[in-house]
Amino acid sequence: MYNTDRFEPVCFQSGGSLELRGQTVTYETVCEDNVFYDEPGNPIASIFSYSYFRTNAACAASRPVLFCFNGGPGASSMMVHAGCFGARRVKYPGSPEAETALPPYEVIDNPDCLLDVADLVLVDPIATGFGLLLDADSGKRFFGIDEDAEALVMFIARWLTKYNRWNSPKYLVGESYGCTRAATAAGVACSGGPSRSHHIAFNGIICIGNTIAMAKYFNRGAPVESSVEAFPTMAAINWYHNAAGPQPLEEFAAEAAEFAASDYLTALCKGDALTGDARRRVKEKIRYYIGVSDQYLEDHELRLERVSFCRELLREKERVISILDGRFTRPVYRPKAMEGAPGYYSDAAMERYGPFFLAALRGEIFQALGLQGFERSFVPSCSLGTELEPNPIWNFETAQLVSGERLSIAMHYNPGMRVLFANGWFDLCTQTGIVFHTASHACLPKDRVHFTSYPSGHMAYIGEENVKKLSDDIRHFISGSDPAAP
């Protein structure tokens, strides 16, 4: 916590150039506090932003602007900044098995940066990254689904005024909980928030690792439904590790999804009434697609649960799979009793990439942005509470509509607004099945909803080919064409 008597807003300016698609793109950057004040005029919080402006654009005022953020809640913009959207980013190793856990790490000029077609604003929400909560008693004003979304909209409104960009096409780019933030903010912006109306129309939302839901935030529904939603992702992970089927990944996962929505769903609904040969045939199919044992299926009544699946699939090899990216594995804990201990779970992908991203951001990217010598503590992520905690800091209740309903309202209020869902096949945290379930139940205009998938995990841009494809898909999307177009 910073002492408000000593707080002074900061602003750093820098610039550079990139070679993008055969042209030299020059740009300037502004990194700054965006301060919120209480009624007497005291600073109580700050969103920190990193703005990239192309300086040799033909018409700057009408260029698209992308507001990009991660999730948590409690995550800074570190991952999307250093991993995909910044002018410089991490250089990914050739495969998930490559060693990336120890420095030095390679940072490169980003050949996939979107600065040729849009200006970029990376956002550290309050209490994350360089963002600050300056008054502890004011946390309740910002730490909640509705509260956080309205703070984002108010920040965007101020930014648009400051840089004269009200008439620019505007996009929200959220990853993980950032998708909930984006959908809620889009609804708040067009139909009003808890305290005021805003009347901001967004041209589109890009959701990386979807968390938009049709129930309470990230509600996974009944065990039957969640097992069906998880099935295609688990099949993809089994395909990756065990060469499960002869088809390409997309075909194998699509075939698994069809089985899950038909025979598997029927079997789950029947429960113990499914017996004999019929039960045996269903279990054989599940084992073929998912790779778990017969004993696992009987112990779990044919249902699937992600943590136990991560420990089961490669059990004989004594490896545990990452929830965030099923390509990554780690050894089983020693002693083995610790593997199932409450709270004793680490994720192989985050362990691998967390230090990589932070070192790239703090060691090189911040230097290029003119932040060298800035002594404020940087918070990559922090716990603002989960729904499972008895007294979470974050308010998971919504006063009006849940995120799926907010998105639907926004798309109907704004007839041209479009949505791009971008998900990794190996993401057990926000599975592809959840995306399609949301899109099928949220009353979204189907002609304005687009889907893309990548052979990656929760961070769909992990890997050189993935970051290029995602960036190309976003280029197509903001140009108004189908992201799947060649």
Of 221 and 207, the structure prediction assigns the larger pLDDT to 207
Q: Say whether the peptide bond before residue 104 is cis (omega within 30 degrees of 0).
A: yes
Cα–Cα distances in angstroms (integers) from residue 28 to residues 14, 63, 114, 117, 449, in the given order = 6, 15, 14, 15, 33
pLDDT of residue 411: 92
Element (H, E) at 407: helix 403-413
Q: Is the dihedral of CA 113, 18, 131, 91 positive or negative?
A: positive
Q: Is 109 exposed, middle or buried (0-12, 13-18, 19+ CB in 10 A)?
A: middle
Spatial distance between the Cα atoms of 73 and 355, rounded to a whole number of angstroms: 20
- Facing residues of 329 across strands? 321
Q: What is 348-370 written as a DSSP string?
A: HHHHHHHHHHHHHIIIIIHHHTT
pLDDT of residue 354: 85
Q: What secondary structure letter does DSSP report for 159?
A: H
**Domain over 4-218+352-479 is classified CATH 1.10.10.10:** no
- Facing residues of 119 across strands? 65
Domain boundaries of the chain, sorted by first residue: 4-218+352-479, 223-346
pLDDT of residue 45: 95
Counting residues of the chain whose pLDDT is more than 90, the rounded percentage is: 67
Q: Say whether the peptide bond before residue 248 is cis (omega within 30 degrees of 0).
A: no
pLDDT of residue 2: 47
Cα–Cα distances in angstroms (integers) from residue 144 to residues 125, 347, 394, in the given order = 12, 26, 5
pLDDT of residue 199: 85
pLDDT of residue 1: 45
pLDDT of residue 216: 64
pLDDT of residue 380: 92
Task: List, for residues 142-180, the tens digit of each pLDDT value.
Answer: 999 999 999 999 999 999 999 999 999 999 999 999 999
pLDDT of residue 338: 65
Q: Is the pLDDT of residue 85 over 60?
A: yes
Half-sphere exposure for 165 (CA within 13 Å, toward CB): 24
Choice among 54-63, 262-271, 393-402, 439-448 with the minimum mean pLDDT: 393-402
Amino acid at 185: A
Of 59 and 125, the structure prediction assigns the larger pLDDT to 125
In the structure, how many helices (H) and strands (E) does the chain have? 14, 14
Q: Is the pLDDT of residue 391 over 60?
A: no
The SS3 call for residue 451 is strand
Query: pLDDT tier at 117 (50, 70, 90 boundaries)?
Result: very high
Candidates 450, 449, 441; CA nearest to 411 is: 449
Query: pLDDT tier at 226 (50, 70, 90 boundaries)?
Result: confident
Half-sphere exposure for 199 (CA within 13 Å, toward CB): 3
Query: pLDDT tier at 7 (50, 70, 90 boundaries)?
Result: confident
pLDDT of residue 340: 63
- The structure tokens listed for 155 are 């920040």
Mean pLDDT of the chain: 89
